[in-house]
Homo-oligomer: A and B are copies of this chain.
Amino acid sequence: MATASVRDTAGQDRLFAALANGTRREVLRLLRERGPQPAGAIADRFDMARPSLSEHLKVLREAGLVSEERAGRQRIYRLEAAPLADVQDWLHPYERFWRQRLTGLGDVLDAMPDDDTP
């Protein structure tokens, strides 16, 4: 096993775009807190027509953030957190910048270059 989370630009776009919607973030939270759920049970939690929520699930699926398993006439959705590890990886080189601010180190090092992505 070698690479696990190399995401191209378009993939990152899809990932962040999937997260850029409150309803979809709520769906993720629901799956995280309550475990896998059939589409209907998810939809019941939202004040929105079911087909609309079905679309949101599709966006999450295409971003790799949920998977579906068919069980009879239900489709059980499950959180897939792996792409979120990609987000954390993306975040990592920025970490020292907010650390810097919070610890009051100030803006002293602002111009100090670093290399990370080619």
Q: Which residues of A contact B (CB under 8 A)?
A: 4, 9-10, 12-13, 15-17, 19-22, 25, 28-29, 32-36, 78-79, 81-82, 84-85, 87-88, 90-91, 93-95, 97-98, 101-102, 110-117
Contacts and interface: CB of A to CB of B under 8 A. Distances in A.
Each complex incorporates copies of this chain amounting to 2
A54 B70 CA distance: 47
B87 A87 contact: yes
A116 B94 CA distance: 25
Contact of A13 (B10, B22, B84, B98): B22
B32 A111 contact: no
Contacts of A35: 110-113
Contacts of A90: 25
A34 B117 CA distance: 12
A94 B32 contact: yes
Nearest to A111: B35
A22 B29 contact: no
Given A16-B20, A87-B87, A110 B78 contact: yes
